[in-house]
């Protein structure tokens, strides 16, 4: 029996959001034309991401998706989703989604009430209230459209692609696990799902090979590697915002846990290290740092290291 008294972290993880990332034609191009559902935490920027594939937008398909979600992640107490009025002027297929979300039928209502789940909607015409989970949708949809494109994938291939994208998004480092100088581990969204960081099987780099010489399963691996290359470079670039220097920002200090910017890193691999020494220029600004990693100590230019987005 679960105790009614829950910690702050447990309460945060009991809430999930729901969104449908879709292309201009309404569906992702595959051999069995699929739709995606995306869930992410709604309160904090470290929220983990969970992706599901559904074949249609019926109540039965949605309930089956919820059951799969609860079976893998545990039951949540609240579901958040867009308000139906944001879909005004959309096509008829999206209007079907509006009817499903805004006016759940008896089967869906009965399932939610029986499970003690509360479904909350954001205010009408206020998409910014769901900006956090929509940003998570954008992260996956952006690269799916540009890398996968109109590739014809089977159900198993597309499912593998989506779950690996989910793993990539949940592998990003957020903050140090401790202030111990010998601890090189970082907290990731995956810690809130599986209790540890996300890992993957190391596979040969296929990004430079033509699709014509690859087998079908190798094509999926190649697409995932291309998505990883683009997404993790973009994430590191966001950590190194180069705004105009109108005010002084936090600088790297000895003991900080940083991400090293290295080329050709395998999927899910984030090289982390602790700053052990800093070297300043004549202007007293830090130009070079010495970083302790699992493989030894290295000197890196300040432009080749990134502070974590949520420092302790």
CATH of residue 222? 2.30.30.40
Q: Tell me whether residue 216 is exposed, middle or buried, using C-beta atoms within 10 angstroms of its C-beta: 0 to 12, 13 to 18, 19 or more.
A: exposed
pLDDT average, residue stretch 12-30:
52
In a domain, 6, yes or no: no
Taking the C-alpha atoms of residue 161 and residue 140, their distance in angstroms, rounded to an integer, is 11
Least confident segment among 89-103, 144-158, 223-237, 272-286: 89-103
Quick one: 71 and 108 in the same domain? yes
Unique residue bearing structure tokens 């679960």: 2
In a domain, 16, yes or no: no
Q: How many CA atoms lie within 13 A of 186 on its CB side?
A: 26
Read off the pLDDT band of 311 (50, 70, 90): low
Q: What's the confidence (pLDDT) of residue 26?
A: 41
In a domain, 145, yes or no: no
Better-predicted residue by pLDDT, 227 or 144: 227
Taking the C-alpha atoms of residue 54 and residue 71, their distance in angstroms, rounded to an integer, is 16
Domain membership of residue 203 as a residue range? 151-307
CA nearest to 17, candidates 101, 111, 100? 101
Taking the C-alpha atoms of residue 115 and residue 119, their distance in angstroms, rounded to an integer, is 11
Taking the C-alpha atoms of residue 13 and residue 10, their distance in angstroms, rounded to an integer, is 5
Across the chain, what does the average pLDDT equal? 75
In a domain, 143, yes or no: no
Quick one: 155 and 301 in the same domain? yes
Q: Tell me whether residue 173 is exposed, middle or buried, using C-beta atoms within 10 angstroms of its C-beta: 0 to 12, 13 to 18, 19 or more.
A: buried
- What residues contact residue 220 under an 8 Å CB cut-off, 6+ apart? 153, 157, 160, 161
- Most confident segment among 67-76, 101-110, 113-122, 265-274: 265-274
- The total number of residues shown for the chain amounts to 312
In a domain, 14, yes or no: no
In a domain, 184, yes or no: yes
Quick one: 129 and 156 in the same domain? no
Query: 52-88: per-residue pLDDT in tens?
Result: 888 876 777 777 887 888 888 887 778 777 764 433 3
Read off the pLDDT band of 111 (50, 70, 90): low
- Classify residue 144 by its DSSP letter: I
Q: Which neighbouring-strand residues pair with 296?
A: 293
Domain total for the chain?
2
In 3-state terms the chain splits into helix, strand, coil percentages (rounded to 5) of 35, 20, 45
Taking the C-alpha atoms of residue 45 and residue 98, their distance in angstroms, rounded to an integer, is 27
Least confident segment among 41-55, 217-231, 251-265: 41-55
pLDDT at 148 over 70: yes
Q: What's the confidence (pLDDT) of residue 23?
A: 42
pLDDT at 155 over 70: yes
Taking the C-alpha atoms of residue 148 and residue 171, their distance in angstroms, rounded to an integer, is 21
Least confident segment among 45-49, 152-156, 201-205: 45-49
Taking the C-alpha atoms of residue 185 and residue 206, their distance in angstroms, rounded to an integer, is 28
Q: In terms of DSSP H, where are the helices of 22-91?
A: 59-73
Quick one: 265 and 220 in the same domain? yes
């Amino acid at each position: 029996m679960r105790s009614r008294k829950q910690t702050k972290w447990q309460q945060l993880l009991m809430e999930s959001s729901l969104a449908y990332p879709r292309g201009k034609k309404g569906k992702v191009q595959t051999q069995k034309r699929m739709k995606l559902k995306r869930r992410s935490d709604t309160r904090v920027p470290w929220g983990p991401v969970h992706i599901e594939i559904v074949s249609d937008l019926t109540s039965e398909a949605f309930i089956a998706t919820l059951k799969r979600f609860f079976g893998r992640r545990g039951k949540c107490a609240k579901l958040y989703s867009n308000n139906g009025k944001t879909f005004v002027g959309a096509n008829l297929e999206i209007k079907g989604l509006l009817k499903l979300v805004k006016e759940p039928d008896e089967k869906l209502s009965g399932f939610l009430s029986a499970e003690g789940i509360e479904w909350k909607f954001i205010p009408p015409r206020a998409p910014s209230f769901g900006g956090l989970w929509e940003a998570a949708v954008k992260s996956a949809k952006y690269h799916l459209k540009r890398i996968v494109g109109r590739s014809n994938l089977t159900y198993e291939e597309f499912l593998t692609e989506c779950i690996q994208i989910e793993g990539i998004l949940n592998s990003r480092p957020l903050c140090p696990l401790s202030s111990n100088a010998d601890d090189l581990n970082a907290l990731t969204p995956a810690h809130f799902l599986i209790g540890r960081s996300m890992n993957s099987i190391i596979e040969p780099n296929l990004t430079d090979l033509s699709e014509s010489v690859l087998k079908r399963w190798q094509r999926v691996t190649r697409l995932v590697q291309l998505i990883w290359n683009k997404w993790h470079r973009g994430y590191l670039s966001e950590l190194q915002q180069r705004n105009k220097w109108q005010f002084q920002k936090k600088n790297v200090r000895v003991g900080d846990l940083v991400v090293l910017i290295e080329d050709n890193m395998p999927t899910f691999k984030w090289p982390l290290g602790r700053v052990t020494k800093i070297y300043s220029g004549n202007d007293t600004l830090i130009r070079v740092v010495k970083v302790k990693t699992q493989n030894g100590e290295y000197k890196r230019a300040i432009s080749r290291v990134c502070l974590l987005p949520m420092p302790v």
